Structure 1
Amino acid sequence: MKFRDGMWLVKEGIRVEYAEEVYEITKTERGVSLLCPTRKILNRGDTLNRSTVTLDIEAEIDGVISVEATHWDGARRPGPNFDLYPDGKPAVEPKITESEKGTTLTSGSIGATISGKEHNFDIRFHSADGSSKELTSLLARSVALAYTPAFNNENVTEDMRSIKHYMLTQTSLGVGETIHGLGERFGAFNKVGQSVQLWNADGGTSSDQAYKNVSFWLSSKGYGVFIDTPGKVDLEVGSERSSRVQTSVEGQRLKWYIIYGPSPKEVLTRYSILTGKPNSVPAWSYGLWLSTSFTTDYDEKTVNHFLEGMRDRDITVDVFHFDCFWMRGFRWTDFVFDPEKFPDPKAQIARLKASGLVKKVCVWINPYLAQAGEAFRAAAEKGYLVKRKNGDVWQWDQWQAGMGLVDFTNPDACRWYAECLNKLFDMGVDAIKTDFGERIPSADVVWHDKDADPERMHNFYAFLYNKVVYEALQARYGKNEAVLYARAACAGTQRFPLQWGGDCESTPEALGESVRGGLSLGLSGFAFWSVDIGGFEGSPPPWIYKRWVAMGLLCSHSRLHGSSSYRVPWTIDGDDRSEEGCSRTLAKWTALKTRLMPYLFAQAQTAVKTGIPLSLRAMCLEFPNDPTAWYLDRQFMVGDSLLAAPVFEESGEVEFYLPKGKWTSFFTNEVKAGPGWFKEKHGFGTLPLYVRENTVLVLGSRTAKGAVYDYLDGAEVCLYQVQKGAKAELVDAEDKRVGTLEVGDDGKVKGTEVLKGKWKVSETGRDLEGDAAVSIEDLS
């Protein structure tokens, strides 16, 4: 939201009152409280008939300081609130010092200095680790309260019911600074110049709306900002004042945390202490997921035909997903299998698993209960649905006729919903796709929790919804065996993995949108992410399907899913069985991900401990000192050692950037030296996939099928320009660390005694014997 008309004028219809000076500094238990009048106080009379803003600046944890701007402190503090420090709050010792520069609050490695100059408003945030690096600042006209409509007579504030009140802050934006994150956003990777509204919406991937609005952004200057409100937030990222990031909310308070790194990985780790770390997910979830697609027609025979066809084409499917129409039309979500299509679902699922065609089964749900379904009647009778202010159940006909919304602020409703899920688990369902959760009403709505503010509930509903389902899965299957496929999210929802990118079109542009969305969500604290391979809307041409397969199998999780058309490969290209056909392409990329499982699973352990993404991992996380890395939105890292660049052109041509160092092609062992841009032309079995120097890459056996196998049996240990001390952690399929491989003084690998079977070490890249021929042309 913009409050000004250029630099000099206030926007028509808006009244803005800026904090003009720091009049008084009071020391508090954890920091300082600043009294900031909205005019300079030159005499006693200036203290009359004038508003003030109180700025509470407090030490939170090492490297983190909170800032809360308040106008009227008597305003109530409604819920819900983010569940901060879920694993406990680390202790920190606030330090307040006085110097010629002013008053400085230090919280471990970060400090905030309030200028001591008279009649001045100047607050600088800087490192306190010895580097003296300035991060950002609050300068003149950077903290304010605002009203709309504007008024001249203060008496009108006697009745605020027709007046909107806002709080806003503007942090300085340095020359060349870039801003990233803010959830899963499909537009430009660098947010500078954008107006961004944090308000969950079902808008697909081709708009400025987002399913996953996360109130956290990451700066290329080595800090991040977390905005501590689940309600609507408006940001002007260099788009109202080109040298500032403006944050505004409706209400009397605005609180945010500034988080220092100095590296972006350290910023994300500290952010994960605030909002929660991603949980681990089981090995089987990394394998290929096959969906029925959305509005397609299917029954047990169709499902078996698909899975048998995949097996016959040497494509291993680990998880089969039943989308919406496992239930009858007009009855979603009533948790009841369609009796005509699936007369005995428990027996069918058992037969499916016993056949060996699939390991696990997933079903689709959402929190919207159609009026015609059994679940609606039960929930309405027990008071488990959100209500209107007049006491009616809140209903509308969007999506499902007469649908109601489960009220997850009601503990009894949460227990009831978990019981419904347990009936599915009793049938053999192993994972849940938690779709929707964005269209949450904020008007004419009353929640069971009377302290819940409807606007704050809109985004936060995604957290409550996914938490209930995730914890039900954990209760049934174990702490690290729970898996969601969630669409909606807000800050903290990374604790309940995993998330996927929503409704994308079957176009190369949508593939690019999806990459940007995955990169942005990864920079918002989410470790795991997936996408609808082939695109959701429309029917992908074979070349797009195959290029999407390559990208999708390098995501942390991989699912074939569409809208009105199937995504099994033979339906895409008329069952072309050649090496460049859809089936062979899918088989090769699925097999590659299977071989990468020892590496991926070990990298995942680091991701969940630190809050950094496994894949898609933005290049700037690994190469923060390379300015180019902060602009790269057509490539990504898979873990810390593999660089991947999807192909967006039908010709197979692709341009990509290699940072400083030696990089080895995974497919050919050819070595390139960065930094620099390169151009290649690829067939469908490859894309630019380069291994970073000083990497010990552990690959699984070539004969392995699926994501779950003995990663140590028949492993290949591949060395890429290694030096003494290069390491690779070894984990098994149960997510247990079983050893470490390390290069010694003699250049040999130590720790191989835990490997099994016919393992080997390849000293100059991997062994290419047995690979299919590749088609890669260097166009650089």
Structure 2
Amino acid sequence: MAGYEGKAVTSDVNSGTMIYEPILEEGVFRFDCSADDRNTAFPSLSFVNSKVRDTPIMGTHTVPSYLPTFECVLGQQLVKIELPPGTSFYGTGEVSGQLERTGKRVFTWNTAAWGYGPGTTSLYQSHPWVLAVLPNGEALGVLADTTRRCEIDLQKESTIQIIALSSYPVIIFGPFTSPTDVLISLSHAVGTMFMPPKWSLGYHQCRWSYDSDARVREIARTFREKGIPCDVIWMDIDYMDGFRCFTFDKERFSDPKSLVKDLHLSGFKAIWMLDPGIKSEEGYFVYDSGSERDVWIQTTEGRPFVGEVWPGPCVFPDFTQSKARSWWAGLVKDFIANGVDGIWNDMNEPTVFKAVTKTIPESNVHRGDTELGGCQNHSHYHNVYGMLMARSTYEGMTLANENKRPFVLTRAGFIGSQRYAATWTGDNLSTWEHLHMSISMVLQLGLSGQPLSGPDIGGFGGNATPRLFGRWMGVGSMFPFCRGHSEDDTKDHEPWSFGEECEEVCRLALKRRYRLIPHIYTLFYMAHTRGTPVATPTFFADPKDVRLRTHENSFLLGPLLIYARFFFFFFGYELLGLDQLQQVLPKGIWLSFDFDDSHPDLPALYLQGGSIIPLGPPHQHIGEANPTDDLSLLVALDEHGKAKGILFEDDGDGYEFTKGGYLLTTYVAEVESSVVTVRVSKTEGSWKRPTRRLHVQLLLGGGAMLDAWSTDGEILQIVMPSDIEVHSLVSASKKQYKIRMELASARSS
């Protein structure tokens, strides 16, 4: 059986200006080479609903600000969009290298890329998407809506060129007022991220592999004994019986239910790996049931394709078929009964060993559902294979318990994967270069619609040094997804594995994260419901400020600015880090603070003037939190003496929040006649406000703050000190900060 190779063009060369029609909402346009191309385009797998992409909206009189041109040559469609000089490019999905993408070229072809570098052009995921920030701070987004291998060429200044097999539509979002507005509009097309269970925002500890349930229990016990916060322990492939998915090694993991029960009693969740490669072995229940239902990817001769992966010869589910997805979801449902809290989909590019291409042949056949594109060669579905696997896994977890939110982590993905799974940045290395790149990589995923991501903290391949691991944990504890993970032949990479000083840095870093969980969880609620990003580049604070557009050592979590301290080691020389360089902050008021935990290995923290963020106690795991815990509000007034912030609260799991079972509080602060009044200005949801103490910390600058206590929901007034008193408080705070930093430096030297 032969798959579809792509639609032929009527001549060797075709060119012109693309035709357009408005879709989705005001300011969004679909472009095609011709009306015939528009009518015969493949269904969209990136859009939540392909019909939305294919249905023009009526009654709009706006026209596009920019018109792409196209050229069709030998079956390839080249699209070019020229933008004003000074335009900056971002996005392009999971990519290594610099934050600002001008001068780069990316190929969207999901690829296993162990030890990738800054020049690697294809990684594990494909996002044929560019976010362009114009010189005036406005922004637009460009989506090439094709699943095929795609070249995104940004080598020419202010010009986007996209090359892929003919033919495909291009969707342009904007220009809109800000980059955030573009991402919100994108989310209306490709969907917002799933609402994560609150526990998944804690720290995750992983290794390839914890080789027995006894070792897992030891890891869990050590976290609690050492007072290092952690919520999740992960099981890599060695928990399986001979790498057979949905099985457990009878000796080393003989009773997974008992293991998970013990983990739950200590406040841990357990996440287990499932790969797509199913061992081709009669008598293995997964292989037998899949063969009975005829769910495997086929060769051109109509036989199941067999490729080598961890178990040996493997077959691969064809997730483009609804019957295969239902079969997989049923297996997942049964698997969850073992106490599984989350599932990790790895190797789903899909990766095949002993193959030059590292994947299955492009000529293999997928008998896809009509609404996905029908029967096609693998080259058509390759980039969405991982997303469809994650979707099937997510659906299986929902079948197992519709009252719990699934948590799935996927290595391979496509634009739209955020609807089903979190992701990480793949097999990175324990180097300073990879630590530096991890910030830009997380940010690019967020700018491409995937907010819940992070790197393997400390690096997957190689052995981290204590200084590298501590610095990485300092930054990684602030990423949306926070997991430590390391390869099987490396030294131990748990937080206590590098000596007492590094252990203390990790403890401080993770306590910071847990104090910020109320703020981080609120950001994810906003991402889920409104499509706003979670972690963003610093220039989002002021898109017009070109100084900030290439800044890679800092990022934002809402109004919170995290400024990393990096020391790079090359050829034996230590280059100047942040401590020796002037920090580049956005314009306006940015007030520094800490939790009396300043350390040279931890990032500097700043809160934007005009903001309020909620804080909680530094629990050992999120399950310890109680609605009656003291609530802290960190307040930074703007130049007008005002501030505003929100807090989202619910059960932390399940879907009662979709039925009104939540509390969304807007807090405001305002100074008048030297008195700052803090109060609730608005609430949403049916939850009753818990009876709890409210601790307000009003930032004064230089790390100094005023503390005041009240009952949450009541009006609190704080009398501002005189200018002389403020100066004294700031001076004392700076002195204490210097002492803490010097003591920490002395201990670590």
SS in 2 for 1:726: strand
Report whether the alignment pairs 1:748 with 2:672: no
Q: Distance in 2 between matches of 1:272 and 1:87?
A: 16
Task: Determine if contact 1:202/1:211 at 8 Å carries over to the other structure.
Answer: yes
In structure 2, the CA distance between the partners of 1:653 and 1:443, relative to structure 1 (3 Å rule), is closer
Which residue number in structure 2 is paired with residue 342 of structure 1? 253
Q: Distance in 2 between matches of 1:464 and 1:721?
A: 46
Give the drift of 1:503.
Answer: 0.6
Which residue number in structure 1 is paired with residue 146 of structure 2? 229
Which residue number in structure 2 is paired with residue 621 of structure 1? 540
Q: Is there any run of 5+ residues in structure 1 with no aligned partner, and where? A: 1-14, 21-35, 37-53, 97-104, 113-124, 126-135, 148-164, 671-680
Structure 1 residue identity aligned to 2:15 = A
Report whether the alignment pairs 1:82 with 2:11: no
Which residue number in structure 2 is paired with residue 594 of structure 1? 514
Which residue number in structure 1 is paired with residue 468 of structure 2? 544
Aligned residue among 602, 612, 632 for 2:551: 632
Structure 1 residue identity aligned to 2:174 = I
Which residue number in structure 2 is paired with residue 706 of structure 1? 622
SS in 1 for 2:320: coil
Which residue number in structure 2 is paired with residue 388 of structure 1? 299
Q: Distance in 1 between matches of 2:644 and 2:391?
A: 36
Which residue number in structure 2 is paired with residue 363 of structure 1? 272
In structure 2, the CA distance between the partners of 1:386 and 1:428, relative to structure 1 (3 Å rule), is same
In structure 2, the CA distance between the partners of 1:324 and 1:662, relative to structure 1 (3 Å rule), is same
Task: Determine if contact 1:591/1:705 at 8 Å carries over to the other structure.
Answer: no
Deviations 1:475-505, CA, capped at 9 Å, x for gaps: 3344762111211111111112311111100
SS in 2 for 1:362: strand
Structure 2 residue identity aligned to 1:62 = E
TM-score normalised over the length of structure 2: 0.80
SS in 2 for 1:82: coil
In structure 2, the CA distance between the partners of 1:253 and 1:597, relative to structure 1 (3 Å rule), is closer
Report whether the alignment pairs 1:175 with 2:85: yes
Which residue number in structure 2 is paired with residue 659 of structure 1? 586
Structure 1 residue identity aligned to 2:337 = D
SS in 2 for 1:660: coil
Q: Distance in 2 between matches of 1:745 and 1:539?
A: 52
In structure 2, the CA distance between the partners of 1:274 and 1:762, relative to structure 1 (3 Å rule), is same
Task: Determine if contact 1:230/1:459 at 8 Å carries over to the other structure.
Answer: yes
Q: Distance in 2 between matches of 1:309 and 1:497?
A: 29
Aligned residue among 595, 607, 610 for 1:691: 607
Which residue number in structure 1 is paired with residue 631 of structure 2? 715
TM-score normalised over the length of structure 1: 0.77
In structure 2, the CA distance between the partners of 1:253 and 1:434, relative to structure 1 (3 Å rule), is closer
Report whether the alignment pairs 1:730 with 2:647: yes
Report whether the alignment pairs 1:310 with 2:223: yes
Aligned residue among 351, 368, 384 for 1:449: 368
Q: Distance in 1 between matches of 2:220 and 2:125?
A: 32
Give the drift of 1:456.
Answer: 2.2
Give the drift of 1:181.
Answer: 0.5
Q: Distance in 1 between matches of 2:97 and 2:622?
A: 34
Aligned residue among 145, 148, 155 for 1:238: 155
Question: Relative to total residues, which structure has the larger helix share, 1 or 2?
Answer: 2
Structure 1 residue identity aligned to 2:238 = F
In structure 2, the CA distance between the partners of 1:76 and 1:759, relative to structure 1 (3 Å rule), is closer
Aligned residue among 439, 454, 459 for 1:515: 439
Give the drift of 1:362.
Answer: 0.5
Which residue number in structure 2 is paired with residue 437 of structure 1? 348
Aligned residue among 377, 386, 407 for 2:318: 407
In structure 2, the CA distance between the partners of 1:91 and 1:269, relative to structure 1 (3 Å rule), is farther
Aligned residue among 182, 197, 205 for 1:290: 205
Greater Cα shift, 703-712 or 168-177: 703-712
Aligned residues: 654
Give the drift of 1:60.
Answer: 4.0
Greater Cα shift, 733-742 or 416-425: 733-742
Aligned residue among 728, 735, 741 for 1:775: 741
Task: Determine if contact 1:174/1:243 at 8 Å carries over to the other structure.
Answer: yes
Query: What is the percent sequence identity of the aligned residues?
Result: 21
Give the drift of 1:189.
Answer: 1.8
Q: Distance in 2 between matches of 1:632 and 1:168?
A: 31
Bigger radius of gyration among the two: 1
Give the drift of 1:568.
Answer: 4.8
Q: Distance in 2 between matches of 1:167 and 1:566?
A: 49
Which residue number in structure 2 is paired with residue 584 of structure 1? 504
In structure 2, the CA distance between the partners of 1:592 and 1:570, relative to structure 1 (3 Å rule), is closer
SS in 1 for 2:81: strand
Which residue number in structure 2 is paired with residue 158 of structure 1? none
Give the drift of 1:143.
Answer: 1.9
Give the drift of 1:467.
Answer: 0.8
Aligned residue among 480, 497, 512 for 1:572: 497
Give the drift of 1:193.
Answer: 1.7
Q: Is there any run of 5+ residues in structure 2 with no aligned partner, and where? A: 1-10, 351-358, 653-661, 682-687, 700-704, 708-732
SS in 2 for 1:716: strand
Which residue number in structure 1 is paired with residue 353 of structure 2? none
In structure 2, the CA distance between the partners of 1:777 and 1:602, relative to structure 1 (3 Å rule), is same
Deviations 1:159-184, CA, capped at 9 Å, x for gaps: xxxxxx11222110321111111111
SS in 2 for 1:763: strand
Deviations 1:212-246, CA, capped at 9 Å, x for gaps: 2111110012111111111111122134xx55321
In structure 2, the CA distance between the partners of 1:602 and 1:88, relative to structure 1 (3 Å rule), is farther
Aligned residue among 189, 197, 211 for 2:124: 211
Give the drift of 1:258.
Answer: 3.9
Which residue number in structure 1 is paired with residue 95 of structure 2? 185
Aligned residue among 515, 526, 533 for 2:457: 533
SS in 1 for 2:463: coil
* Aligned ranges 1:155-166 → 2 under 5 Å: 165-166=75-76
Give the drift of 1:58.
Answer: 3.7
Aligned residue among 397, 413, 427 for 1:489: 413
Aligned residue among 183, 186, 207 for 1:268: 183
Which residue number in structure 1 is paired with residue 726 of structure 2? none
In structure 2, the CA distance between the partners of 1:88 and 1:449, relative to structure 1 (3 Å rule), is closer
Which residue number in structure 1 is paired with residue 133 of structure 2? 220
Task: Determine if contact 1:69/1:255 at 8 Å carries over to the other structure.
Answer: no
Task: Determine if contact 2:538/2:586 at 8 Å carries over to the other structure.
Answer: no
Task: Determine if contact 1:85/1:276 at 8 Å carries over to the other structure.
Answer: no
Structure 2 residue identity aligned to 1:69 = C
Structure 2 residue identity aligned to 1:610 = R
Task: Determine if contact 2:268/2:621 at 8 Å carries over to the other structure.
Answer: no
In structure 2, the CA distance between the partners of 1:701 and 1:265, relative to structure 1 (3 Å rule), is same
Q: Distance in 2 between matches of 1:532 and 1:540?
A: 12
Give the drift of 1:653.
Answer: 2.9
Q: CA RMSD in A?
A: 3.3
Q: Distance in 1 between matches of 2:307 and 2:651?
A: 45
Greater Cα shift, 307-316 or 81-90: 81-90
In structure 2, the CA distance between the partners of 1:648 and 1:185, relative to structure 1 (3 Å rule), is farther
Deviations 1:559-603, CA, capped at 9 Å, x for gaps: 111112365546632xx33xxx22222211111111111211122
Task: Determine if contact 1:710/1:732 at 8 Å carries over to the other structure.
Answer: no
In structure 2, the CA distance between the partners of 1:669 and 1:545, relative to structure 1 (3 Å rule), is closer
In structure 2, the CA distance between the partners of 1:776 and 1:210, relative to structure 1 (3 Å rule), is farther
Q: Distance in 2 between matches of 1:502 and 1:389?
A: 31
